[in-house]
Structure 1
Amino acid sequence: MLSVSNLTKAYAGRTVLTIPMLELPAGFHYFRGGNGSGKTTFFRTVAGLLPFFGQIILDNQYEINRDSVAYRMRVNYAEAEPVYPDFLTARDLTGFVGKAKQAPAGQIDALAELLGVDKFWTQPTGTFSSGMLKKLSLLLALLGKPRLVLLDEPLTTLDVTTAARLFEFIQQLNTAGQVSFWLTSHQDVALTGLPIASTWQVGNGEIVPAT
């Protein structure tokens, strides 16, 4: 599904992640670690949002730097603490991202209803609560036809009803279209009800199987 090799990520000359080799098959995978352990840095790197040294390949075909557009069309990311230009509305953002991700007809409206974003569709994001921002972030991460979706702290600020609908829906996506999901969470990942295939510990600049 996705392989990482010889990856090094540094900030201002200080190495924060070193991953000699990591290979994950399709399915649901959970990454845990304390604050500042590198979970978000890793997710943002895999999503193509941060520069790094090394190689990331999706489906034995799409290398993140060599096939940058094709790779990013297939890997989506939901921020833990999303921030958007405060004058844009949910409709503005989903329209822009939906076009970039080539969202199928009707997908945006269906996701907006599923996550309750349709209730604040035309409000500027500067007026959003943290829960509203989270719902919009999740909607954007599901647009298009991704092979891998990275969910950074999906349970944080999300109400129980919406969370239940979300996790039921992504199980359906996994079954029907073989979409894989990686998650981080400071909360009990069992609350998602997802069939987690593997758990990984992030810390001390490494990612290792959790014991």
Structure 2
Amino acid sequence: MLTVSNLTKSYQNGGSNGHIVLSVPSLILPPGIHYFRGSNGSGKTTFFRTVAGLLPFSGQILVVNKYEINRDPVAYRMRVNYAEAEPQYPSFLTPRDITGFVGKAKKAPVGQIHALAEITGVDKFWTQPTGQFSSGMLKKLSLLLALLGTPGLVLLDEPLTTLDVATAANLFDYIRQLRSEFNVSFLLTSHQDISLTGLSLTSIWQVGNGVITPTT
């Protein structure tokens, strides 16, 4: 489902050589639900943002053994969606505006936006500018956007943070449905008790000091 080879992510620190913050020589994830744990600053979000195509890197990232992130950027991004831990949007836009744009880009099936708005509770503030949103409302919108289209892989960075219990239950029921009926895979992180999701995990990985290792 996801194959990472010789990935190196570095940031310039004022000198000629970049500071390496993430190094993944090889990581092969089969279809399923994969949990990445680690402390703040361990590299979890950097890894997710890199896989989502938001950060430049050296190396190779392949999805469904076919689409490479740099060689096939459009096909890759149509199959990989991402919900950020702390999402931000232009303050004047509403959920209706943003989902309309992203839904068109992701070729969302007819009726999908409306259904996801109900599942996530975004329908309750559909025409309200995001500049008036609480952190919980922003989180709900980010989760809706991450589920649009027909992705094969969805990255959820801290999906439990600021999310109310009822919406979390709806979300994880829907994730189980996507997993069982459409073979959608998920990568997720959480500082909360992962058992609260009720999801059956395929693997657990530890992220720390810029490296990713499997747990026993």
TM score, norm. by length of structure 1: 0.99
Please tell me the residue identity of whatever aligns with 1:24: L
Q: Partners of 1:14 and 1:96 in 2: how far apart?
A: 36
Quick one: distance in 2 between partners of 1:60 and 1:80?
27
The letter of the residue matching 1:31 is F
Match of 1:163 in 2: 168
What is the rounded CA distance, in whole Å, between the counterparts of 1:84 and 1:210 in structure 2? 35
Q: How many residues of Structure 1 are paired with residues of Structure 2 in the alignment?
A: 211
Residue 157 (structure 1) shift:
0.1
SS in 2 for 1:190: helix
Give the match for residue 156 of structure 2: 151
SS of the residue corresponding to residue 183 of structure 1 reads strand
Matched, 1:10 2:18: no
What is the CA deviation profile of residues 39-86 of structure 1, one whole-angstrom value per residue up to 9, with x for unaligned ones?
000000000010000000011100000000000000000000000000
The residue correspondences of 1:54-133 to structure 2 (distance < 5 A) are 54-133=59-138
| 1: CA distance, partners of 2:47 / 2:197 | 21
Give 1:10's aligned amino acid: S
Structure 1 spans left out of the alignment, 5+ residues: none
Distance 2:65 2:106 in 1: 21
TM-fit CA distance, 1:11: 1.1
Partners in 1 of 2:215 and 2:44 — Cα distance?
Answer: 14
- SS at 1:176 equivalent: helix
Give the equivalent residue in structure 2 for 1:139: 144
* 2:30 counterpart of 1:25: yes
SS in 2 for 1:196: coil
Quote the Cα distance in structure 2 between the aligned partners of 1:70 and 1:201: 29
**Post-superposition offset of 1:210:** 1.8
TM-score normalised by length of structure 2: 0.97
Q: CA deviation at 1:31?
A: 0.1
**Which residue of structure 1 aligns with residue 190 of structure 2?**
185
Equivalent residue runs for 1:191-210 within 5 Å: 191-210=196-215
Q: 1:63 and 1:121 mapped to 2: Cα distance?
A: 35
Segments of 4+ in structure 1 off by > 2 A? none
CA distance in structure 1 between the aligned counterparts of 2:165 and 2:213, rounded to whole angstroms: 31
Instruction: List runs of 5+ in structure 2 lacking aligned partners.
Output: 13-17
After superposition, give the CA deviation of every residue in 1:68-126 in whole Å (9 maximum; x if it has no partner): 00000000000000000000001000000000000000000000011110000000000
TM-superposed CA distance for 1:6, in Å, is 0.3
RMSD over aligned Cα, in angstroms? 0.5
Please give the residue correspondences for 1:40-51 in structure 2 after superposition, counting only pairs within 5 Å. 40-51=45-56
Supply the distance in 2 between the matched residues of 1:106 and 1:96 (Cα, whole angstroms).
15
> Matched residue of 2:202: which SS?
strand
Identity level (%): 76
